[in-house]
């Protein structure tokens, strides 16, 4: 399944405007697929570990399926900085838990299958930036950390149609629903 991403680039020169086609290399497209699947794994793993408590970030007895809260521990214990009172006030609320888990699952599945990449990128970026804002200032850098970088990667994946290669993005984009509502692409 080979595809080439083409876009027109306008180059200014002494002559009238020239339009030149450039294509993204297969290597670059494949690296975007690897990034997409790696982020899919990260979101889906976080969902599964919080749901079932595999003992990595979430012990079994605190898993969601065993009555634990996927947001209470992190928001109650890690919140600091200007948004501390807000995050502590929503920690462990039923709506917070459901929204957080739905976001992890939905973003992870969208990335895995390459569909709904725009919504996944937007919602994933919001989720990641909210997670960044839980504990300010950050431990290793006064501003930039992995949450910002992952949010930017999500946006890059959507902007480059990374779901089209080794995913269902091209098919999804051709459906009547997506043609009518392009935001769903």
The pLDDT, as a whole number, for residue 7 is: 46
CA gap 180, 162 in Å, rounded: 21
CA gap 30, 34 in Å, rounded: 6
Give the start-end residues of each E strand in the chain.
Answer: 6-11, 18-23
The pLDDT, as a whole number, for residue 139 is: 81
The pLDDT, as a whole number, for residue 140 is: 84
Residue 12: exposure state from Cβ atoms within 10 A (0-12, 13-18, ≥19): exposed
The pLDDT, as a whole number, for residue 120 is: 97
The pLDDT, as a whole number, for residue 23 is: 77
The pLDDT, as a whole number, for residue 19 is: 52
DSSP string, 51-82: HH--SSSS-GGGSTTTT--TTHHHHHHH-BST
Per-residue pLDDT tens digits of the chain, which is 185 residues long: 444 444 444 444 455 555 555 678 999 999 999 999 999 999 999 999 999 999 999 999 999 999 999 999 999 999 999 999 999 999 999 999 999 999 999 999 999 999 999 999 999 999 999 999 999 988 888 888 999 999 999 999 999 999 999 999 999 999 999 999 999 99
Q: Is the peptide bond before 85 cis (omega within 30 degrees of 0)?
A: no
Count of CB atoms situated within 10 Å of the CB of 67: 8
Residue with tokens 């079932």: 52
Task: Give the residue among 36, 33, 10, 34 at the shortest CA–CA distance from 21.
Answer: 10
CA gap 113, 169 in Å, rounded: 7
Residue 85: exposure state from Cβ atoms within 10 A (0-12, 13-18, ≥19): exposed
pTM score:
0.86
Give the start-end residues of each E strand in 2-125.
Answer: 6-11, 18-23
């Amino acid at each position: 399944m080979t595809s080439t991403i083409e876009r027109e680039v306008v180059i200014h020169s002494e002559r009238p405007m020239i339009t030149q086609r450039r294509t993204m290399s297969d290597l670059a497209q494949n690296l975007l697929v690897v990034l997409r699947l790696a982020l899919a794994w990260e979101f889906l793993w976080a969902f599964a570990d919080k749901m079932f408590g595999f003992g990595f970030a979430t012990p079994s007895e605190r898993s969601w399926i065993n009555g634990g809260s996927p947001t209470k521990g992190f928001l109650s214990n890690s919140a600091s900085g200007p948004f501390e009172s807000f995050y502590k006030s929503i920690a462990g609320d039923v709506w917070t838990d459901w929204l957080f888990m739905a976001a992890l699952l939905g973003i992870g599945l969208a990335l895995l299958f390459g569909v709904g990449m725009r919504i996944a990128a937007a919602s994933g970026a919001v989720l990641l930036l909210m997670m960044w804002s839980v504990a300010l200032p950050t431990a290793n850098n006064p501003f930039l950390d992995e949450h910002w970088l992952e949010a930017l990667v999500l946006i890059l994946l959507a902007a480059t149609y990374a779901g089209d290669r080794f995913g269902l993005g091209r098919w999804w984009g051709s459906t009547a629903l997506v043609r009518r509502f392009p935001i769903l692409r």
